[in-house]
Amino acid sequence: MSSEEPLREIAVTVNGTLHRCEVAERKNLADFLRHDLRLTGTHVGCEHGVCGACTVLVDGVSARGCLMLAVQADGCTVETVESLAASEPGPAGLGPLQQAFRDRHALQCGFCTPGILMSLTELLRDDPSPDEEAVRLVLSGHLCRCTGYQNIVAAALQAARARAGD
Does any domain span residue 57?
Answer: yes
Task: Read off the pLDDT of each residue in 142-157 and give the average, rounded to a whole number.
Answer: 92
Return the pLDDT at 137. 97
Number of domains in the chain: 2
Asked whether residue 92 falls in the same domain as residue 72, the answer is: no
CATH of the domain at 114: 1.10.150.120
Q: Can you give the residue range of the structural domain that contains 48? A: 7-80
- Among left, alpha and beta (phi > 0; psi -120 to 50; other), residue 15 is left
Tell me how far apart the alpha carbons of residues 15 and 64 are, in angstroms, rounded to a whole number.
17
CATH of the domain at 21: 3.10.20.30
Domain stop point among 60, 80, 100: 80
Asked whether residue 101 falls in the same domain as residue 158, the answer is: yes
**Average pLDDT for the chain:** 92
Task: Read off the pLDDT of each residue in 76-86 and give the average, rounded to a whole number.
Answer: 91
Asked whether residue 70 falls in the same domain as residue 49, the answer is: yes
Return the pLDDT at 166. 60
Chain-centre distance for alpha carbon 24: 22
Does any domain span residue 116?
Answer: yes
3-class SS letters over 92-139: CCCCHHHHHHHHCCCCCCCCCHHHHHHHHHHHHHHCCCCCHHHHHHHH
Domain stop point among 47, 80, 113: 80
Model pLDDT for residues 115-135, shown as the tens digit of each residue: 999 999 999 999 999 999 999
Return the pLDDT at 2. 55
Asked whether residue 159 falls in the same domain as residue 88, the answer is: yes
Asked whether residue 87 falls in the same domain as residue 159, the answer is: yes
Asked whether residue 154 falls in the same domain as residue 90, the answer is: yes
Asked whether residue 73 falls in the same domain as residue 101, the answer is: no
Sign of the dihedral through C-alpha 69, 16, 108, 99: negative
Total residue count of the chain as it appears in this document: 166
Return the pLDDT at 49. 87
| Cβ neighbours of 161 (radius 10 Å) | 14
CA distances from 4 to 23, 24, 26, 27, 70 (A): 12, 9, 12, 13, 17
Asked whether residue 68 falls in the same domain as residue 99, the answer is: no
Model pLDDT for residues 47-64, shown as the tens digit of each residue: 998 899 999 999 999 999
Tell me how far apart the alpha carbons of residues 7 and 110 are, in angstroms, rounded to a whole number.
34
Phi and psi of 91, rounded to 5°? -60, -35
